[in-house]
Each structure stands twice: as structure tokens, then as C-alpha cells.
Amino acid sequence: MRNYIRINQPCIGKEELRAVEEVLLSGVLTDKNGMGPRVMEFERAFANFIGVKHAIAVSSGTAALHAALLAVGVKAGDEVVMPSFTFSATAEAAVLCGAKPVFADIDPDSLSINADAVSRVLSNKTKAIIPVHLYGQPVDMDPILEIARERGIAVIEDAAQAHGASLGGKMVGSMGDMGCFSFYGTKNMTTGEGGMVTTNDDDYAEALRAIRAHGESRPYWSVRLGHNYRMTEISAAIGLAQLQKLPGMLERRRENAARLSEALGMVGKLSAPKAPENGSSSWYVYTVRFVGANAGRRNKLVEKLRSKNIDAQVYYETPVHLMPFYMERFGLGMGALPETEKASRQVFSLPVHPMVAPDDIEYMADTIRKLIK
């Protein structure tokens, strides 16, 4: 009986165990301002990896998005433009600021937010744009940055799934005003729970450090509204160990993705998202599109794959603008974003994480070919 091939699996070893033990024995588990020794070391190492001046560690990827929007000054009455084809945390962060999430449609080939669609939904209330590097595929940032710079709008990259992805020689998280990463347990690198905001802007970095620790500029001196978004020393220690492994883990993901593409040959009616020509994916998951299928046919294929011990998943079956909370409050309904809604009925994702073996790749491809036929 073949072992179940999970959609994602953390690569945890003796290095992480040793790092956690050292923190526990040190007696320093956290720091009131979120600036314990391991956190600060992790921040320096991550900033160096991304190629930015600052990295500010926080408690989750959602906290990273919320803190970044607060640092920009997003407030009630403002609008934040983003794709609907993403995890709900992207929109949630805007709503937590009192702002309105404004959804722009996606490009059907890349499945990423479309710059022309962004232009159509901008208004004089637009305070920020959040392009999402979905599935680890880098968004074509240049046209979005050009639009934003012309209007004085902040760009916050949602890189929660894209650690190590790049575009034109630049890491995602280094091109916008800020970049937001998640270290949730399924991500390309993990701290269990955790997040990071990257930036080259000194003022944003200062604001973010205050926001994560109750808005304090020094102990018991709040200068702005903040939260308890601190990262623990244990999480940072795990992150340091994971970051050292990340280049090797990314290489394995890319090898697996290339091997799966070759084995599948995009048989039948499957097509893979297209990254920009000068971009490199981090392959969080390997997402294909069942061209011409409806949701029922796609879901039936996914169910059959699971019955064959392949943990295929659908990200995201319900776009954010069609979720009850957002439909009730922001008024978009079915048909508002045709490319987003079409993709949500056709895409499904396969595992290519480092624990996936070459024979797993062959098995997945062979199983899919048989099921498609």
C-alpha cells in the first residue's frame, strides 16, 4: 500500500530540536518588545536573504499584513485593492483596519492580479495595493508598481506562499514598499506559527516594531495603536534553522515541479500557471487548471486522486468576494470577477514539497493520466 502523499509537510530535523532546546535552557522565551536575541538574529538573517534593510518578525502572516497596513496608515474610509483569488487573510487585514477591500480580477494564465483590472478599480480612496504571489508564483510587479507610484499608493506584497521566489533577480518581498511572509506549518519554511514584514523604509520599520508591541516606542510608552504581534524566541530559533535549509528545500521543490511537468506533459486538458519569463517560482504547491471543466468535474477528479493516496487540494474553491461575510458587507456577487470565478472552478493543487520522492512524482503523473482518460 502506497503511503499518503501529503499536500505539504514540514521538514523538521535535529537542527530545529536542538535550537528549541537551547532556548528552553536559556530561560529567555520571549521579549516584551519582541526583540529577544533569537528574534533579532532571525530578522537580520531573513533581511539578508530577501535583500532588504529591515525584517520585522511577528506572530503570523495575518499579523504581518495587518501591521503593514497600519504602518501605511490605512484607516476607516480607505480602500485596499487586492485579488479575490487568495486566502481570506489578505482581505481580513484590510477590514481589521476599518478599510474596504476592493477586489480586482486575475490574469487567466498566471492566476495573479491583473494590472489592467487594478487600474479599473482604483479611486481617490485607494490607500494600498496588495499583489499576492499565489502558489509561490511571482506576480509581474512592474506594471503594478508603475500604477502605484503615479498615484502615491503603497504596494504591500503578500508573499505568504512565496519564500525564495524571485523576479528579475529580485526576491519577492523586496520590490514593494513592504513584503509580508507567513511561517505557518505548511509553508516553504516554518516556525509553527509566525510571520515577517520586510522593507527598505526606515520609517515603516520603526512603525512596525512599535505596532507589534502595543504601539510602544519604549517600555510602557505607547505612541500609536498596536497589538501583541510579537514572535517568541522558540519560533525564531526554529526559523533560523529553517532559513539555513531553505535554499536546499527550494531546489528540491523546483526539481520536483520540473519532474512533474515533464511526467505529465500537461496531458489531456491540464495547464499550469505561467510565471513571468524573468521570474522564478518557489513552488509552494503545483497548481494545474482542468481546462473546460466545471467545479463538479474538477472535484470528482480531486476525490479520485485522494482515494489513490494523493492529497490533491483546491485553493481556492470559493473566492473571497463570494464568501458570506464579504458578500454581505461589500456587495459583490456572482459574475463580478469572471476570470477569478472561472479559475476557482477549474484549478487544483498537487504536492511537490521536499519530502515528495521521484517515484511519488511518477505515480501522481501516471494516476492523473489514467483518470483524465
Domain 14-241 grouped into CATH 3.40.50.10090: no
pLDDT tens for the chain, residues 1 to 373? 789 999 999 999 999 999 999 999 999 999 988 899 999 999 999 999 999 999 999 999 999 999 999 999 999 999 999 999 999 999 999 999 999 999 999 999 999 999 999 999 999 999 999 999 999 999 999 999 999 999 999 999 999 999 999 999 999 999 999 999 999 999 999 999 999 999 999 999 999 999 999 999 888 999 999 999 999 999 999 999 999 999 999 999 999 999 999 998 866 688 887 777 899 999 999 999 999 999 999 999 999 999 999 999 999 999 999 999 999 999 888 999 999 999 999 999 999 999 999 999 999 999 999 998 7
CATH class of the domain comprising 248-372? alpha beta
112/116 Cα distance (integer angstroms): 12
Grid-cell match 531546489, residue found: 251
pTM for this model (two decimals): 0.96
Q: Where are the domains of the chain?
A: 14-241, 248-372
171/105 Cα distance (integer angstroms): 24
Distances from the Cα of 225 to the Cαs of 72, 90, 274, 323, in angstroms? 13, 20, 41, 29
Distances from the Cα of 297 to the Cαs of 20, 272, 293, in angstroms? 46, 18, 6
**Residue 199: what are its φ and ψ, rounded to 5°?**
-165, 155
Active site residue 187: yes
Amino acid at 11: C
**Who contacts 269 (Cβ-Cβ below 8 Å, separation ≥6)?**
290, 291, 292, 293, 372
* Catalytic option among 100, 127, 187, 308: 187
369/287 Cα distance (integer angstroms): 16
Amino acid at 188: N
62/194 Cα distance (integer angstroms): 9
Say whether 248-372 and 14-241 share the same fold: no
